[in-house]
Chain A
Amino acid sequence: MEKTKINITDEVAIHISDMNKWFGNFHVLRDINLEVRRGERIVVCGPSGSGKSTLIRCINRLEEHQKGSIIVDGTELTTDLKNIDKIRSEVGMVFQHFNLFPHLTTLENCTLAPMWVRETPEKEATEIAMEMLEKVKIPEQAHKYPGQLSGGQQQRVAIARSLCMKPRIMLFDEVTSALDPEMIKEVLDTMIQLAEEGMTMICVTHEMGFARQVADRVIFMDDGQIVEQNEPEEFFKNPKSDRTKLFLSQILGH
């Protein structure tokens, strides 16, 4: 399948420079420098504990960084709560464990944030929500509760919920890791579809097939550092560092 490459622009969506983060005494992220263009699709991989989830959680400040700067859509992440809320409403995030709101129906999960954060009228919010549920192919589940859906369906609802905010950037944090194998595909298909529409995406994932198919750039992290980054073709064919080689042999070996 031919990859669409039309979307990458010169506009900078995320700019991270010299960013460092500690959990107590533990140095989780070291001197991260990363620039993401609008429309770019990035896959972040690496062994567990390498800091890749922490990195993308810093982008919408679910984690606070201690040194360096992160600029998202031209706004720097500081302790200013207003800026943080604004950035969060522009940056969608999908989690490993879905984190749907179990006390609300699928539809309510999707309309809640637009109605309260964007102050969209209920009717309009419902229309958008149905449109997004249609996009992830589960409009018929709109009035069920998350507890009544399968894992794959829940994850697709979670994607739809983020999309309802019309985000400019989407972060995916190991979204298929908690799913049964037969459900991984339906979620990946949704993500591929999004990628083809030109959404700026950063995906932490171990799905190397997905990385090959949609990523513009693959980033390999180990020990809190970006060890290597390259176009997927090159990345998989000619990994430069030994650590990347080791990781790839482990993950692709069987």
Chain B
Amino acid sequence: MMTKIAFVRKKEIPPSAPPITEVGLIGWLRQNLFSSWLNSILTVLSVYFIVVILWDFIPWAYGGHWNTKSLRECLDLDPDVACFSVLTARWKQLLFGLYPAEEYWRPTLTFMFLLLAIVPILFPRFFRFFWFSIIYPGLAVWLLWGGSFWSISIVYIGLTLGALFFLSLIRRYLKNYMVAAILAFLFTVVFFLFISNPLVGLLNVILPISLPFVESLKMGGFTLSLIVGVTGIVASFPIGILLALGRQSNLPVIKMICVGFIEFIRGVPLITLLFVASVLLNYFLPPGTNFDIVLRVVIMVTLFSAAYMAEVIRGGLAGLPLGQHEASASLGLTYWQSQRLIIMPQALKISIPGIVNTFIGLFKDTTLVSIISLRDPVGLASTIRADQKWNGIYWELYVAIGLMFFIFCWGMSQYSQYLERKLKTDK
């Protein structure tokens, strides 16, 4: 006997749409802003504070004056709005410091070339003109400081000759890299001591190319921040890597030197180092030596952040399983091959947030050079406020300076996030 069938489905009912409270804008709001009582209260409070701040800020900024001659004039017109005229009047100074006005094209060009030189390093897959990144440092120095084109080029010529000498030595005569490196080093030293000067003189006579010389004390504004910041970043990175490796070395002398250096530099405020660079160093150097102030500052900033960099990278190295060292050793890779191909790529990837953190810190710390009376944007702000026309202005100036730093630092942070996504290989 057949069992009685109570219900048979004749047609399929389409699935209902999700409730409106779960999807779309309302769903998002519920999930993210009003998921609980506490969350709702916080949301309302935050919105309130944002509104209060913008309520005052927008009219202040939007109605700001751009074309008055002094702060006095601004206040007479309307004391409740911003007086951006100080930026209109002094923006060139904020960008270039005391750089001669007729030479502004040089730092501008240097900056544009900087972007061009950085692009192949940041996006190596899409841009492949690495040669420009290599010649850029020399080009930048020549453009900014001026002088004879040849006295900069000779550095490149000398180093290239040294490298060629090294390569031809190991190709033809020696298998011993150490001896070849020492010989090539001696060759380069001899070149710079005895050959380079007459050669530069000769080249200057044959083909004089030169720009008017601009001394370091004229450098200022964002130009100076970028000189110190970018050089510091570029130079502190490899030094940091070497220090981190040195700190893990099995050779006690190397280890001691690296640990001592790192701990000493980290234990001293950057300002102290900058004072040493600007004042004390002169006492130790032989009288009459003229050791460029910007160079001194760059060296100190570089060493300072290299010490931090080393510790960040050491963290990355510590995060690698021992098996990676063992696997690369078991394949017969030498120490340096294994560091370069296996260990560092992974350690640096782990350390990206910390590295970029250090870079951003370094870039902002360049404002400390105002303490030793170099004219970076913050130092210039004081100079500008000392002018009686702008005496008493705060917000407009510092907001503008802050905004410019923010753009650079935010850019770095965005790039680091892009890099982390790009290097993700586990999924």
Residues of chain A having any CB pair with chain B under 8 Å: 60, 62, 81, 85-86, 88-93, 95, 97-103, 112-113, 116-117, 145-148, 158, 161-162, 165
- Note all chain A residues with C-beta closer than 8 A to B326: 62, 95, 99
Question: Taking CB as reference atom, which chain B residue is nearest A115?
Answer: B341
A162 B349 Cβ-Cβ under 8 A: no
- Are B342 and A97 in contact, CB atoms less than 8 angstroms apart? no
Binds A, one of B4-12, B69-77, B232-240, B327-335: B327-335
Which A residues are in CB contact (< 8 Å) with B341?
Answer: 112, 116
List of B residues within 8 angstroms of A81 by Cβ: 334
Which A residue sits closest to B342, measured CB to CB?
A101
Pick the residue among A60, A97, A103, A148 that contacts B330 (CB under 8 A).
A60
Which residue of A is nearest B346, CB measured? Answer: A103
Could you mark each residue 414-427 of chain B with 1 if its beta carbon is under 8 Å from any beta carbon of chain A, else 0?
00000000010111
Chain B neighbourhood of A161, CB < 8 A: 331
B332 touches which of A86, A97, A147 (Cβ 8 Å): A86
The chain A residue with its CB closest to the CB of B343 is: A101
Asked whether B321 is an interface residue with its Cβ less than 8 Å from the other chain, the reply is yes
Q: Are B426 and A148 in contact (CB under 8 A)?
A: yes
B331 lies within 8 A of A147 (CB): no
Q: How far is the CB of A92 from chain B (nearest CB, A)?
A: 7
Proximity bits, B195-218, A CB within 8 Å = 1, else 0: 000000000000000000000000
B contacts with A: majority SS: helix
Given contacts A116-B337, A145-B426, A147-B427, is CB(A99)–CB(B332) below 8 Å?
Answer: no
Would you call B330 and A147 a contact (CB within 8 A)?
no
Identify the closest chain A residue to B323 (Cβ). Answer: A99
Q: Looking at the complex, which one of B327, B332, B346, B423 makes contact with A95 (CB distance below 8 Å)?
A: B327
| Interface Cβ pair total, 8 Å cutoff | 74
Asked whether B345 is an interface residue with its Cβ less than 8 Å from the other chain, the reply is yes
Closest beta carbon of chain A to B251's beta carbon, Å: 13
List 9 A-B pairs, Cβ < 8 Å. A62-B330, A88-B330, A88-B331, A93-B327, A97-B323, A102-B426, A103-B346, A117-B331, A145-B425
**Complex CA–CA separation, A81 to B250 (angstroms):** 14
Measured CA separation A14–B341 after assembly (Å): 30
Cα(A142)–Cα(B330), bound, Å:
22
Chain B residues within an 8 Å CB radius of A145: 425-426
Contact B333 A117, beta carbon cutoff 8 Å: yes
The answer to whether the Cβ of B31 comes within 8 Å of any Cβ in the partner chain is: no
* Apart from the given pairs A102-B346, A147-B425, A148-B426, 15 other A-B contacts in the complex at a CB distance below 8 Å: A85-B332, A85-B334, A88-B331, A88-B332, A93-B327, A99-B321, A99-B327, A101-B346, A103-B346, A103-B349, A112-B341, A116-B333, A117-B333, A147-B426, A161-B331
Q: Output the nearest chain B residue to A161 by Cβ-Cβ distance.
A: B331
Give min CB distance, A109 to chain B, whole Å. Answer: 9
Closest 4 CB pairs of A and B: A89-B332, A147-B426, A99-B327, A99-B323
Q: Which residues of B contact A116 (CB under 8 A)?
A: 333, 337, 341
- Report whether B331 and A162 are in contact in the complex, using a CB–CB cutoff of 8 Å: yes
Q: How far is the CA of A145 from the CA of B337 in the complex (A)?
A: 21
Query: B40: CB under 8 A from chain A?
Result: no
| B168 proximity list for chain A (CB < 8 A) | none
Q: How far is the CA of A99 from the CA of B333 in the complex (A)?
A: 15
Bound complex: CA A91 to CA B321 (Å):
22
B21 on the interface (CB 8 Å rule)?
no
* Residue from A85, A101, A103, A165 within 8 A of B327 (CB atoms): A101
Interface residue ranges of B322-360 to A (CB < 8 Å): 323-324, 326-334, 337, 341-342, 345-346, 349
Indicate if the CB atoms of A100 and B329 lie closer than 8 Å: no
**Cβ of B327: which chain A residues have Cβ within 8 Å of it?**
93, 95, 99-101, 158
Q: Do A165 and B332 touch across chains, with their CB atoms under 8 A apart? A: yes
Known contacts A99-B324, A103-B423, A112-B341; is A117 also within 8 Å of B332 by CB?
Answer: yes
Chain B neighbourhood of A101, CB < 8 A: 324, 327-328, 342, 346
A158 to B328, CA, bound (A): 12
